[in-house]
Structure 1
Amino acid sequence: MSRKRPTVADLRAMKGKRQLTMLRVLTLDEAEAAERAGVDIVSVPPELVLNPQYRDAAPSLFTMPGDNFFEIGTADDFVRWAFRLYKAGADAVYCSAGYATIKRMADDAIPVIGHVGLIPSRATWTGGFKAVGKSADTAMQVFEAVKQLEAAGAIGAEIEVVPVEVAKAISERTSLIMLSMGAGTGCDAQYLFADDILGQNRGHMPRHSKIYRNFAAEYDRLQAERVAAFSEYVADVNSGAYPEDRHIVHMEPAELRLFLDKVGRG
């Protein structure tokens, strides 16, 4: 039996009732895998949801495209960008721009997900890529940011690398759907990157990530096989082993004689 794609109202109704699952996926294959695995929410690059094949691959995933705010432009640019994605099948958009931009979209009934805690595009303001909200004062700043997102009309917020106690207390005191990335189970959804789950990331692994497969090793194996196959091809050409008779076509002898006569007269 196929699943029904949740609406914003559905997600709000589920707040506090169960942990939702959320992934950042980058390809149609990953989106299809998330669909088949029963994932609830996905974050995707905008170009993925604009792909006409996307909804065939992921019919029931609540889908949230997003991009760095400095790639998009003004608040009006955001509205045009968001409506284009909404028309293509997005259910909400991610926006880490200012509250005025979020309000501009929310005023036009565009479901917007904001971001609090560690925000990579603003990490310099909070001391770099580290936990945010470990003191009472900084925790209060995260809470105030959530309240400002509420006032702006956002439907939810990613809350990243915030102490679990703080994230739980905030989630209990907001109507926003809180998406936890390294902020514990007191929120409404757990959020991981597919790259980390699949072991595709060769760089730094965040504390909150969990590796379930080792795709990097498989890619290394496939690359070694690729090199070996290419090397065998080069060797076959050099030795005359390729092409064999089965790889080519021949001309009928009579036609060949006629052709050579014509070439000779030319």
Structure 2
Amino acid sequence: MKHMRVPDLRAMKERGEKIAVWTAYDFTMARILDRAGIDVILVGDSLGMVVLGYDTTLPVTLDMMIHHTRAVSRGAKRALIIADMPFLTFQLSVEEAMRNAGRLIQQGGAAAVKIEGGRQIVETAKRLVDIGIPVMGHLGLTPQSVHQLGGFRPQGRDSDAADRLMQDAEILEKSGVFAIVLESIPADLAGRVTASLKIPTIGIGAGTQCDGQVLVSYDALGLSDAAPPFAKQYAQLGEQILSAARAYIEDVRAGGPHR
């Protein structure tokens, strides 16, 4: 299998081929997903919640993201690796965003970065693209704005919000982003956005009309205590690990398992 590059995603959209994206945060998971043939591995700031135990993504730092992205880049040799820019690493100034994105590429080994927000991050996205850093956008439910949004709530449900999101998507495309994540928006809105753009859309809780889908791996594998309702579970690894650990404890109590 060939190494996935940023332009390959647009080519997949043009061919009508759906794009498969999962998150990974460590070497072992990245290596397994790479062997499976996943198109894109997103090193999400969701690691703050599913790996580090925080209630939101807000405590995640740039150094944390670099640490986990570096591990993923060692494990995945074929998939395209995209790293989230965490809270306050791109909002303060364009110059700081350039420096921080550069660290995710240079030190973390990412091929691209993902930034949350619409028209307010356009100048930042443009500058990053201008210096050679590919940028993925993220609209709808943007977890870094969880307090402003009043929680992890679906977005784009009224006509004004839907119109604004559509405009933001078109503005982001003009800024040079190569793809946009659409999170927790109505399926018909996601379909309209997808049809209006030449760049791919990647949905999460946004119906089936997007050009691709992304899931948090811990949700898909049954490792999360409370996965969102839209997240299909493809395995129940949490229960399997629980059973294995209990079996091991029983063996140890009985004098095993080593011979």
| Equivalent residue in structure 2 for 1:167, among 190, 198, 204 | 190
| From 96, 101, 123, the counterpart of 1:77 | 96
Partner letter of residue 6 of structure 1?
M
Structure 1 residues 69, 152: closer, same or farther in 2, change over 3 A?
farther
1:224 corresponds to which residue? Answer: 246
SS in 2 for 1:23: strand
CA drift of 1:220 comes to: 1.8
What is the aligned residue count? 230
Q: Map of 1:1-266 to 2, 5 A cutoff?
A: 3-16=1-14, 17-44=16-43, 45-51=65-71, 54-71=72-89, 74-87=93-106, 88-96=108-116, 98-203=121-226, 205-225=227-247, 227-228=249-250
Residues in 1 aligned to 2:38 and 2:87: alpha-carbon distance in whole angstroms: 26
TM-score (norm 1): 0.77
- The one-letter amino acid paired with 1:89 is G
- SS of equivalent to 1:207: coil
Conserved in 2, the CA contact under 8 Å of 1:46 and 1:66?
no
**Alpha-carbon shift at residue 35 of structure 1 (Å):** 0.9
The alpha carbon displacement at 1:78 in A equals: 2.2
Matched residues in 1 for 2:179 and 2:41: separation? 14
Runs (5+) with no aligned partner, structure 2: 44-64
Letter in 2 for 1:5: H
Deviations 1:176-195 (A, max 9, x none): 32111111222111111110
Contact 1:92 1:110 in 2 (8 A): yes
Say what the alpha-carbon RMSD is for the aligned residues: 2.4
Query: What one-letter code is carried by the residue in structure 1 that aligns with 2:127?
Result: R
CA distance in 2, matches of 1:141, 1:124: 20
Deviation at 1:230, TM superposition (A): 6.0
Indicate the structure (1 or 2) with the bigger Cα radius of gyration.
Answer: 1
Amino acid at match of 1:15: K
Structure 1: which amino acid aligns with 2:83? P
Q: Evaluate the alpha carbon distance shift between residue 71 and residue 56 of structure 1 in structure 2; reply closer, same or farther with a 3 A threshold.
A: closer
CA contact (8 A) 2:136 2:180 kept: yes
Structure 1 portions without partners, runs of 5+: 237-266
What residue number does 1:248 align with? none
Is the 2:205–2:230 Cα contact (8 Å) retained in structure 1? yes
What secondary structure sits across from 2:201 in the alignment? strand
Q: Give the letter for the 2:68 counterpart.
A: L
Per the TM alignment, residue 40 of structure 1 is displaced from its structure 2 partner at its CA by 0.5
Equivalent pair of 1:43/1:63 in contact (CA under 8 Å) = yes
Give the percent of matched residue pairs that are identical in Structure 1 and Structure 2. Answer: 27
State the Cα distance separating 1:47 from its structure 2 match. Answer: 2.0
Cα–Cα, structure 1 residues 151 and 124, in superposed 2: closer, same or farther, change >3 Å? farther
CA separation of 1:226/1:7 partners in 2, compared to 1, >3 Å: closer, same or farther? same
Deviations 1:235-265, CA, capped at 9 Å, x for gaps: x9xxxxxxxxxxxxxxxxxxxxxxxxxxxxx
Report the alpha carbon displacement of residue 160 of structure 1 after superposing the two structures with TM.
0.4
Cα separation, 2, equivalents of 1:102 and 1:57:
28
Decide whether the 8 Å contact of 1:159 with 1:183 is kept in 2.
Answer: yes
